[in-house]
Amino acid sequence: MSLLQETKLILRRYGIKPNRRLGQHFLVSEGVLEREVEVAELSPGQRVLEIGAGIGNLTKYLLSAGCRVVAVERDPLMGRVLRERFPGAELEVVIGDAVRVELPEYEKVVANLPFGISSPITFRLLRHGFEKAVLIYQREFAQRLAANPGTEEYSRVSVACQYYAEPRLVMRIPRGAFYPPPEVDAALVELIPRRERLKVEEEFFMRFLAAVFPYKRKTLRKALSFAARRMFDRELHLDIEEGLLKRRVFQLSPEELAVVSEVLREWSTEASE
Ligand code: SAH
């Protein structure tokens, strides 16, 4: 029996009508699942966190790799399917909202995320830490996470994500790999924490990114003067290289943005003393 047939059978048996609002699109491509588990480089006994396990199509592969799985799932009915589909397995099911529940201990995260929570769950995981995360996202979001400076996709989430981790776009996944298919395509992303974080005060940097990226096509000079008004409600005088000020925000690397953020932070603390 194919995974698609098995999925349809389970849905029928439990009377489940996939809920779009909860992003209930189940992965039915064995090729994609094999690749996802391969990229995760799992070893027996490893603790894996799965977000939004659904009826367990990915969970099955994680358990076969010998992992101890903690699945966080919002829908209690899915929780029942998971317990009944894998009786006696090394599986703990936590029913709740993955953005809010207390997270268990884990080494890796492997998940086909519900697209509605991509951003909050990603940053929650990045702050929390992990050895490696292998995640499926809506393709556009995946491209933004992994984008390089100077490209169309490079945005606030690219820099914020790359502050914590090195993202890699592993493969594109067509919508037909899911049942029922979503309205957008997807992509598989690997996140590996950076060995060394950028030398910048984290909280200020995140505020700084939120303040300059609305002006990402403007020169840094312009964006900073707008940002300073937003952040501090006053005019700005900064000691920043002319060459940098002339470039557009989206052309600056995370490292360059970190330098600017620190200059701005020092100016703001001096000016307020
Ligand atoms: N991983 C499974 C299911 C993916 S569908 C597979 O690949 O087949 C996404 C799942 O996330 C659904 O089961 C949905 O109920 C669940 N979900 C949606 N929002 C959630 C949230 N905030 N926290 C945890 N799970 C959530």
Claim to verify: residue 216 and residue 184 sit in the same structural domain: no
67 lines ligand 1 (CB under 6 A): no
The greatest distance separating any two alpha carbons of the chain, rounded to the nearest whole angstrom, comes to 71
The alpha carbon of 55 and the centre of ligand 1 are apart by a number of angstroms equal to: 9
Select from 93, 112, 134, 179 the residue to mutate for testing ligand 1; criterion: most ligand atoms less than 8 Å from CB.
112
Nearest CA to ligand 1 atom 7: 27
Spatial neighbors of 76 by CB under 8 A, at least 6 apart, are 95
For residue 67, give the nearest of 53, 84, 50, 52 by alpha carbon.
50
Q: How many domains does the chain have?
A: 2
Last residue of a domain, one of 193, 224, 249: 193
Claim to verify: residue 18 and residue 92 sit in the same structural domain: yes
Residues spanned by the domain of 212: 202-272
Claim to verify: residue 66 and residue 166 sit in the same structural domain: yes
What is the rounded distance in angstroms from the CA atom of residue 248 to the CA atom of residue 240?
14
Claim to verify: residue 97 and residue 168 sit in the same structural domain: yes
For residue 32, give the nearest of 147, 130, 177, 220 by alpha carbon.
177
Q: What is the pLDDT along the chain (273 residues), one digit of tens a residue?
A: 999 999 999 999 999 999 999 999 999 999 999 999 999 999 999 999 999 999 999 999 999 999 999 999 999 999 999 999 999 999 999 999 999 999 999 999 999 999 999 999 999 999 999 999 999 999 999 999 999 999 999 999 999 999 999 999 999 999 999 999 999 999 999 999 999 999 999 999 999 999 999 999 999 999 998 888 878 877 777 889 999 999 999 999 999 999 999 999 998 887 666
Claim to verify: residue 73 and residue 175 sit in the same structural domain: yes
Spatial neighbors of 23 by CB under 8 A, at least 6 apart, are 52, 113, 114, 115, 116, 117, 182
CATH code at 116? 3.40.50.150
